[in-house]
Structure 1
Amino acid sequence: MPEVNVEINGRKYRMACEEGQQQHLIGLAERFNTHVEALKGAVGEIGDNRLTVMAGIAVVDELAEAERRIKALETEVVVLTRAGQEVASEIEALEGRFASKLSDAAKALEGVAGVLDEAAILPG
């Protein structure tokens, strides 16, 4: 199993990961370290453990907000999908009515054409 070295709050940690996930793990560690450094800048030196816990809570808070937004977007997708299906059904019904009216008009024109043909054949 591959191992990578990451740095969090100035300390290096050796971590194992799945093959091919090395860069992903390094990126996650860098992202987490950004939270730690931002908190350290905001609250000062408060101890490694407390700082790490606060950064972890901040990350989980972001995750919870992202999950809330995903749920809202999923709900919106369902609503829009239903609306799209309703519009498609309405269009299909309109096309059916249009085809029926067009067929009726064609029959009427055929009837008129038949009458005209008969009038042309009959001697006047």
Structure 2
Amino acid sequence: MAQVTLKVGGRRYELACRDGEEPHLELLGTMVDAKAHQAARALGNANEPRQLLLAALLLADELSELRAGAPDPERDSTARALQTLAQRIEALAERLENGGVAS
């Protein structure tokens, strides 16, 4: 059994996990900590349980949107960029096939 120390909302938590799962658990802890800080900014100086509740609700909201298929702006912009690039490559290939010079 491995041990991981997570820092969430300014507090340290010692957790046990299976060997090899430490990096994943640390990543999850970082995500929860980010939401805890977001919750703290939104709530002001609320107590820790309330702050962690809001952090959990923020994460649950994100998960709910992902499960419902809500658009991901970052993924959508990447898809648009790839589509534009593909169109440019096709246009260049067509120009080369027709004996034109690519610029």
Could you say which TM-score interval applies, normalised by the shorter chain? 0.5 to 0.7
Are 2:20 and 1:20 aligned? yes
Moved over 6 A (4+): none
Per residue, is there more helix in 1 or in 2?
1
The one-letter amino acid paired with 2:54 is M
Distance 2:24 2:16 in 1: 12
Once the two structures are TM-superposed, the CA of residue 38 in structure 1 deviates from its matched residue by 1.1
After TM superposition, the score normalised by the length of structure 2 is 0.65
Distance 1:7 1:53 in 2: 16
Per the alignment, residue 68 of structure 2 pairs with 68
Identical residues among aligned pairs (%)? 27
- Equivalent pairs, count: 71
> Relative contact order: is structure 1 or structure 2 higher (C-alpha 8 Å, sep ≥ 6)?
2
Give the TM-score normalised by the residue count of structure 1.
0.54
Q: Which runs of 5+ in 2 are unaligned?
A: 72-103
Larger radius of gyration: 1
Q: Deviations over 1:83-117 (max 9, x none)?
A: xxxxxxxxxxxxxxxxxxxxxxxxxxxxxxxxxxx
Q: Displacement, 1:43?
A: 2.0
